[in-house]
Amino acid sequence: MSAIDTLPPLREVIATHGLSARKALGQNFLLDLNLTAKIARQAGDLSGSDVLEIGPGPGGLTRGLLASGARRVLAVEKDTRCLPALAEIAAAYPGRLEVINGDALQVDPLAHLTPPVRVVANLPYNVGTELLVRWLTPADWPPFWSSLTLMFQREVAERIVAAPGSKTYGRLAVLAQWRAEARIVMSLPPGAFTPPPKVSSAVVQLTALPAPRYPADPAILSRVVAAAFNQRRKMLRAALKGLAPDIASTLEAAGIDPTQRAEQVSLDRFCALARAIAPAG
């Protein structure tokens, strides 16, 4: 009998430990262990990796990660009510699950992890985008993670993988696709969760590239993209006024028509613009 079979069903765990879902903590639990095993498999071969999981809750995905052979799982959970359920899982997989009780936006998990690190999470929706942007914008590249396998609201997932010219193309797409390969690998209807959220969800798989696709200074690129998409309906020469003394000429030097709007500009042209503003060192 494998360790996962010795643990009680998740509905029983929730009843025993009084884990009624709290909206403020973005709690929509996955209780189907076949589904959590499938999500864990999307992350690839975990046997040689440490896994960082944010928001394990009652531990359905945590169980999937351990059963699919993760070397170690470090789980960061804010809700103290979940700790006894997670302790039962840790006991079933000795030495392989460490739980930090804290806010993922405050805790620095790096000291607890040995590379290679994969991040796998059914993220609390209220902090998901902020965590993703942090993971995508470290000072140095490659980052601490080799892949991110993350559940998002379908609409956010579409923004991450969007191509130029689409309504969902924006800052998230540029930041994600500049230094990572991003694709949607699973779609889940609201009914897959307990309680069901209002919207559909999707799992996005991001794999860190060894180096950026095109050279650019990360801070300049971030500023350019933020300014361009903050006023996405304006022509770039207006939206980016102030980023260079003669922004129209700088745009032209980067091969961009100054009358275009941000959503028409490809990733490589945004990088060319960042280089035209500040040549990469």
Annotated binding-site positions: 28, 30, 55, 77, 103, 122
Q: How far apart (Å, rounded) are the C-alpha atoms in residues 88 and 212?
A: 42
- Segment (H or E) for 122: strand 117-122
Between residues 56 and 218, which has the closer beta carbon with respect to ligand SAM? 56
> Considering the rule CB under 6 A, would residue 143 count as an interface residue with ligand SAM?
no
Is 149 among the residues that bind ligand SAM (CB under 6 A)? Answer: no
Does position 216 bind ligand SAM by CB under 6 A? no
CB of 103 to ligand SAM, least distance (A): 4
Closer residue to ligand SAM (CB): 82 or 271? 82
Cα angle at 51 between 178 and 101, to 5 degrees?
110
| Residue 162 DSSP one-character state | P
Sheet strand arrangement including 72-77: 97-101, 72-77, 50-54, 117-122, 145-153, 201-208, 180-188
List 12, 45, 103, 246, residue binding ligand SAM (CB under 6 A): 103
Q: Indicate whether 152 belongs to the interface with ligand SAM (CB under 6 A).
A: no
- As measured in angstroms, the least distance from the Cβ of 216 to ligand SAM is 31
List the binding residues for S-adenosyl-L-methionine.
Answer: 28, 30, 55, 77, 103, 122
Q: Which of residues 224-263 bind ligand SAM (CB under 6 A)?
A: none
Burial 66-87 (b: 16+ CB within 10 A, else e): bbbebebbbbbbbbebbeebbe
String marking each residue 47-86 x if it binds ligand SAM according to CB under 6 A: -------xxxx--xx--------------xxxx--x----
SS3 breakdown of the chain: % helix, strand, coil, rounded to 5? 40, 20, 40
Question: Considering the complex, what minimum distance in angstroms separates the CB of residue 59 from ligand SAM?
Answer: 7
- Rounded to 5°, the CA angle 147-187-38 comes to 60
Interacting residues with ligand SAM (CB under 6 A): 25-30, 54-57, 60-61, 76-79, 82, 103-105, 122, 124, 127
